[in-house]
Amino acid sequence: MDNLFAEIPSKLPAELTEVLAQSSHVRIERIVSTGHTSPQNFWYDQDEHEWVIVLKGQAKLQFDQDLSVLLRCGDYLNIPAHRRHRVEWTSETEPTVWLAVFYRD
């Protein structure tokens, strides 16, 4: 047994991504951010759908076409494959813990 909140560093030089489970159709990741953002002018454009929830902390995602979404603890959303997005902001005062489920049709 493991715990999603165990062994969370307070400061990270880069975002921490850990694969918790995967198969040929799905991948589940724990992501920990401490003030991290996507690089300037970088957009995720994934072949998979991504369902993501913020379990702790806060983050702001930016989608192409100037739409931004603030995610707080417990907020989740589904990002369709090839929906361009980036991490605009994550909390610098506490770790932001995400659970991301990547899946294909």
Q: What is the CATH number of the domain that holds 59?
A: 2.60.120.10
**Looking at the domain assignment, is residue 4 inside a domain?**
no
**Looking at the domain assignment, is residue 2 inside a domain?**
no
CA 48 vs CA 18, 23, 33, 89, 99: distances in Å: 17, 13, 21, 23, 15
Quick one: residue 24, left, alpha or beta (phi over 0 = left, psi -120 to 50 = alpha)? alpha
What is the model's pLDDT at position 9? Answer: 81
Is residue 63 within 8 Å of residue 73, measured between CB atoms? no
What is the model's pLDDT at position 105? Answer: 87
Q: Which of 16, 12, 76 is closest to 4 using CA atoms? A: 16
What is the model's pLDDT at position 103? Answer: 98
Residue 5, number of CB atoms within 10 A of its CB: 12
**Looking at the domain assignment, is residue 6 inside a domain?**
no
**Looking at the domain assignment, is residue 89 inside a domain?**
yes
**Looking at the domain assignment, is residue 21 inside a domain?**
yes
Residue 84, number of CB atoms within 10 A of its CB: 13
In this prediction, the residues of the chain whose per-residue pLDDT falls under 70 are: 10
What is the model's pLDDT at position 66? Answer: 82
The residue type found at 94 is E
Number of domains in the chain: 1
What is the model's pLDDT at position 79? Answer: 97
